[in-house]
Structure 1
Amino acid sequence: MISPVVRYSVLLMSTLLAACSDDADQQQGSRPPPEVAVMTIESQPVQNVIELPGRVEAVRTAEVRARVTGIVQRRLYEEGTEVEAGQELFHIDPRETQANLNSAQAALKSAQANAANATRNAERYEELVQRSAISRQDYDAAVAEARTARANVSQAQAAVESAELSLEYTRVTAPIDGVAGRADVTEGALVSAANATLMTRVEQNDPIYVNIAQSNSDLLALRAQFAAGQLVLPEDGKVEVRLVLENGAEYPHPGYIDFLAMTVDRSTGTVAARAQFPNPDRSLLPGQFVQARVLAGSRPEGILIPQRAVMMNNRGGSVMLVNDAGETESVQIVLGDMRGSNWVVRGGLEPGQRIIVDGWQGVRPGTEVRTRPFQREETPTQNAATTGEQN
């Protein structure tokens, strides 16, 4: 049997617990709903930005190679400096080529003398054959000899021109304007015309190219959006590109797409594209890695929301809505890129919906809340959604 003392203790504890529960219910019922800051979604034109990795490439690259065999006597430029087309970069010992030229010129004079003698013989034979003093066969042989002599003159003249060209090649010049790189040969080095010895490179870096590649599936989706009117190109039809350098700084000069390949790379499934940029201060260097932001048209019905309103999870992003009954709902959204302190929303939200910007951390879906308009400072460069009047 339970003793009277134990029975009394149990009854007393039950009474106290019931009283505490009633007090808690009364306090909870009297507590006001939490207050949150909300904004009404409004659509507006938003630039469609696609971020792609890119590599910088010179507009023109010329490999300066030996076109004559000889010993390098001098390097006539400073490595890494600007050179002009036709400026002399190296001087190869010209003595051997000069000797070849002298020999060719002597051979030409000999051929010219032989041609002159053969021509006079043919002229004399013509008079003699008319008087039947010689046979027609002898005359024809004299004419043929004169023609052969003239052909030898032409051949010797070509040899002289070739020797003159070889002598000219001993003065190695820049084929284009640009920056001359490090010399691949030094004074005293033997360069070969047969092996086309590389001597240096000249690169033209202003303007300059940036090569990028986009997946074919993304490109097809873009074309479908343009066809459906979801994206609109600028009036001039130019696609602007901005660059972010490896240190996070934005390159100050915009560029424009000037080439799009008509084939898909079989190994990567991407389509190559190229943008051209001004490079007046030579801050972009060939081979440099950059991040390209391609402004692929604009979305007339775009949506921007503050970054602080987005909850990130393993499925992406979500926001907390306030419905017409004043209760909260969690909605999964599709995020695009960041614009300052705002997210571009690609899907999941519609104009007119109200999202919680501040205070969503303390509420759960289905919670009744009190709302106040979200206020923020607008800046001239901020591309943000407009905050409407909230209730």
Structure 2
Amino acid sequence: MQSKYRGRLFTVVLLSGILGLAGCGKKEQPKGPQMGPPEVGVIEVKTERVALTTELPGRTSPYLIAEVRPQVSGIIKKRVFTEGSDVKAGQVLYQIDPATYQAAYASAKASEARAEANLVPARLREERFRDLVKINAVAKQDYDNAYAALKQAEADVASAKAAVETAKINLAYTRVTAPISGRVGRSTVTDGALVTANQPTALATIQQLSSVYVDVTQSSSDMLKMNRSIASGLLKRDAAGQARVKLLLEDGTPYPVAGTLKFSDVTVDQSTGSITLRAVFPNPKQMLLPGMFVRAVLEEGVNEAAILVPQRGVTRNAAGQPTVMVVGADGTAQPRPIQVARTVGENWLVSGGLNPGDKVILEGLQKARPGTPVKAVPFQAQPQSAPGAAQGPPQAGAPGAAAPGAKPGAAAAPAAAQPQKK
């Protein structure tokens, strides 16, 4: 009995000694360094002078355009211009057969001569009867008849002169001339073709391209906003009150010469709710051709105290309202709703909610929690990617590619090595 008790006591003492030795062998682990507040990149809000622009689609049209049509009928004897060339106002383009009009002019001249010949005796008869009626040598009725014959002869002369002038004009119309200076297009008729006066089909079209119009459309709501901003003084125009316009060509290259906005239409298109604006551009090198699609960059005005915030710093809250994170005076991150008017490049134009001097967080938003302390440092823009760098996200299965559903920035685990075949 005593031996069994002594055995148990020995076992307890042995275990206690082992545990004591194990406890003595453990060293106290040093505590890790205390983590400070997260570092965030911020920009300080300030006001600046910003020229506000609107980019609108448009089409070019010629400054002047004239369709050439014959004013008399006849056969085209000759086309006397080169298609696609520049012509001057008054330059002959077509020659219509003038034979019949020359004959009509000669006939009119002959009728004029006959009328003038008949006028001479009528005038002499009226003069004689005027003297005789004074002495009662002839009846008063005879003088009245002579006076009426004179007036009729004078009217015949005037009518003949008008007929001569008409024949002369028609003869001149056989030489179809350019009504304006410009570039003439293709001819729709050839030599020997029959043309008629005022026919619906034009013989050719002349367009003046030294300047061109650009017609663009803008929604009526945007026009109202712009007018309100100008009336309130938020936007300012130049001294002349004319808005400058720049062009982007079809391939995206800028047109080197600026234009001016001439007028806006006075009627809103009921089907689209937009109005037409017309700008004029100098075209000295005739780079702009009628019908080209362009994008007009319209200078609406200048905001002298604009607040711009990069789009990367603006998020939407649950209600869909634009929100930014700012660093408060106590050094904590604070969400702040803002009002935005429009985009300006890669920035939002802020119309309310921010004041000069506010610090907006742009980098480290995922580390900033509302009400928690943060360490604000000036935001440094990331340099552009080097030329030749791979574009787009890493492909699935590529080294460093994140697995679907992984946290942002987490790299995929390296693939297990495939066993080699024996």
Contact 1:321 1:331 in 2 (8 A): no
Larger radius of gyration: 2
Select which of 352, 356, 366 maps to 1:351. Answer: 356
Contact 2:69 2:198 in 1 (8 A): no
Select which of 93, 108, 112 maps to 1:108. Answer: 112
Structure 1 residue 169, shift from structure 2 partner: 0.9
Select which of 83, 95, 98 maps to 1:94. Answer: 98
Q: Distance in 2 between matches of 1:342 and 1:359?
A: 18
The letter for the 2-side match of 1:255 is G
Q: Distance in 2 between matches of 1:49 and 1:66?
A: 47
- Relative to structure 1, is the Cα distance of residues 74 and 269 closer, same or farther in structure 2, using a 3 angstrom cutoff? same
Q: Distance in 1 between matches of 2:322 and 2:289?
A: 38
The letter for the 2-side match of 1:221 is K
Structure 1, unpaired ranges of 5+: 1-22, 378-391
Provide the residue aligned with 2:43 in structure 1.
39
- Relative to structure 1, is the Cα distance of residues 343 and 354 closer, same or farther in structure 2, using a 3 angstrom cutoff? same
Contact 2:339 2:353 in 1 (8 A): yes
Provide the residue aligned with 1:117 in structure 2.
121
Provide the residue aligned with 1:260 in structure 2.
264
Structure 1 residue 312, shift from structure 2 partner: 8.7
Structure 1 residue 172, shift from structure 2 partner: 1.2
Structure 1 residue 332, shift from structure 2 partner: 6.2
SS at match of 1:198: coil
Q: Distance in 2 between matches of 1:317 and 1:181?
A: 55
Q: Distance in 1 between matches of 2:381 and 2:328?
A: 22
Select which of 65, 74, 81 maps to 2:85. Answer: 81
- Relative to structure 1, is the Cα distance of residues 184 and 37 closer, same or farther in structure 2, using a 3 angstrom cutoff? same
Structure 1 residue 116, shift from structure 2 partner: 1.7
The answer to whether residue 308 in structure 2 is matched with residue 304 in structure 1 is yes
Structure 1 residue 157, shift from structure 2 partner: 0.5
Structure 1 residue 342, shift from structure 2 partner: 4.5
> RCO higher in 1 or 2 (8 Å CA, sep ≥ 6)?
1
Structure 1 residue 32, shift from structure 2 partner: 5.0
SS at match of 1:50: strand
Q: Distance in 1 between matches of 2:292 and 2:316?
A: 33
Provide the residue aligned with 2:6 in structure 1.
none
- Relative to structure 1, is the Cα distance of residues 201 and 292 closer, same or farther in structure 2, using a 3 angstrom cutoff? same
Q: Structure 1, residues 300-358: CA drift from partner, whole Å, max 9, x if none?
A: 2212334554569996976544444333647566362343x555445554322222333
Q: Distance in 2 between matches of 1:245 and 1:318?
A: 37
Select which of 329, 332, 338 maps to 1:326. Answer: 332
- Relative to structure 1, is the Cα distance of residues 368 and 75 closer, same or farther in structure 2, using a 3 angstrom cutoff? farther
The answer to whether residue 207 in structure 2 is matched with residue 203 in structure 1 is yes
The letter for the 2-side match of 1:207 is S
When the two structures are superposed, what TM-score results if normalisation uses the length of structure 1? 0.79
Contact 1:49 1:337 in 2 (8 A): no
Contact 1:38 1:374 in 2 (8 A): yes
Instruction: Kindly tell me the number of residue pairs found equivalent between the two proteins.
Output: 351
The letter for the 2-side match of 1:268 is T
Q: Distance in 1 between matches of 2:134 and 2:111?
A: 35
Structure 1 residue 52, shift from structure 2 partner: 2.0
- Relative to structure 1, is the Cα distance of residues 222 and 358 closer, same or farther in structure 2, using a 3 angstrom cutoff? same
- Relative to structure 1, is the Cα distance of residues 174 and 295 closer, same or farther in structure 2, using a 3 angstrom cutoff? same
RMSD of aligned residue pairs (Cα, Å): 3.1
When the two structures are superposed, what TM-score results if normalisation uses the length of structure 2? 0.73
Q: Structure 1, residues 269-293: CA drift from partner, whole Å, max 9, x if none?
A: 3333322221111112222222122
- Relative to structure 1, is the Cα distance of residues 74 and 322 closer, same or farther in structure 2, using a 3 angstrom cutoff? farther
Q: Structure 1, residues 69-89: CA drift from partner, whole Å, max 9, x if none?
A: 111122222222222111111
Provide the residue aligned with 1:286 in structure 2.
290
Select which of 37, 49, 54 maps to 2:53. Answer: 49
Provide the residue aligned with 1:372 in structure 2.
377
Q: Distance in 2 between matches of 1:316 and 1:255?
A: 38
Q: Which segment is superposed worse, 93-102 or 330-339?
A: 330-339
Structure 2, unpaired ranges of 5+: 1-28, 383-422
Contact 1:66 1:197 in 2 (8 A): no
Contact 2:321 2:337 in 1 (8 A): no
The answer to whether residue 193 in structure 2 is matched with residue 189 in structure 1 is yes
Contact 2:338 2:350 in 1 (8 A): no
Contact 2:98 2:171 in 1 (8 A): yes
Provide the residue aligned with 2:222 in structure 1.
218
Contact 2:52 2:344 in 1 (8 A): no
The letter for the 2-side match of 1:120 is L
- Relative to structure 1, is the Cα distance of residues 240 and 304 closer, same or farther in structure 2, using a 3 angstrom cutoff? same
The letter for the 2-side match of 1:101 is Y
Q: Distance in 2 between matches of 1:139 and 1:308?
A: 105
1:21-40 mapped onto 2 (5 Å cutoff): 30-31=34-35, 33-40=37-44
Select which of 326, 342, 356 maps to 1:336. Answer: 342
Structure 1 residue 105, shift from structure 2 partner: 0.9
Q: Structure 1, residues 198-230: CA drift from partner, whole Å, max 9, x if none?
A: 222222222222223333322222222223222
